[in-house]
Amino acid sequence: MARQAGRGGGPRGQRVGLVRAAGRSASSQRWLLRQLNDPYVARARAEGWRSRAAFKLIELDERFHLIRPGARILDLGAAPGGWTQVALQRAGARGRVVAVDLLPMAPLPGATVIAGDMQDPAVEQAAIEALGGAADLVLSDMAPNTTGHAATDHLRIMALAELALDCAVRVLVPGGGFVAKLFQGGAEASLLARLRRHFASVRHAKPPASRKDSAELYVVATGFRP
């Protein structure tokens, strides 16, 4: 896709780009400019990752050693599949990866993709069956549609993190791990208290691939205690 866009790199291509940009809202133009200037977006295209978010999981795994060969991994909110790709690559041929999302997601060879809500017991049961048992690692890069109101957005993503943790507590093996996206704010005390009851280690991390101007960070919990 990047190479095709480059074919219009002469003056005519520039004029077309300006016309298209002129029809966008100011926020859309800012987003487009940020994407065009983002080195992780370019790397993702060049290396075949479905999203720049793949680098966040790569960096978290390199720091915390989350994904073991042969691991059973449940990826919540998986679309478009960047984290699922990383999980497949790092778990290897003996691993099992199940991706769940409300949104449609194109198939990935080696992964089981389930369209549905993990709050639905039937979806959870299908995920466990596809994994072949309890999960070694539960991942959640779920995020809500943002409103621009920091307090509201924080509460919304905390609700998603709580749902992901509910699922993790039900499906993880003893000693398993959990990763979830949060937004920086003041309402995560109850979530952290739950995590510390259930996991031997709970840490926060902001991987380098996470944009500096973003409020996102990740909670990384290991050593699950049922």
Q: Is the dihedral of CA 31, 37, 41, 45 positive or negative?
A: positive
Strand pairing category for 216-224 and 172-183: antiparallel
* 181 is annotated as an active-site residue: yes
Enumerate the H helices of the chain as residue ranges.
2-6, 11-22, 26-36, 39-47, 54-64, 82-91, 121-131, 150-171, 189-198
Structure tokens at 67: 């994904």
Rounded to whole angstroms, what are the CA distances from 168 to 102, 145, 188, 206, 224?
18, 23, 17, 21, 9
Range 39-64 burial, b when 16+ CB lie within 10 A, else e: ebbeebeeeebbbbbbbbbbbbbeeb
The rounded distance, in Å, linking the Cα atoms of 44 and 52 is: 5
- How many Å apart are CA 152 and CA 158, to the nearest integer? 10
User: Catalytic residue among 56, 181, 206, 212, which?
Assistant: 181
The single-letter code of the amino acid at 86 is: V
Helix or strand holding residue 218 (H, E):
strand 216-224
Q: Catalytic amino acids?
A: 181
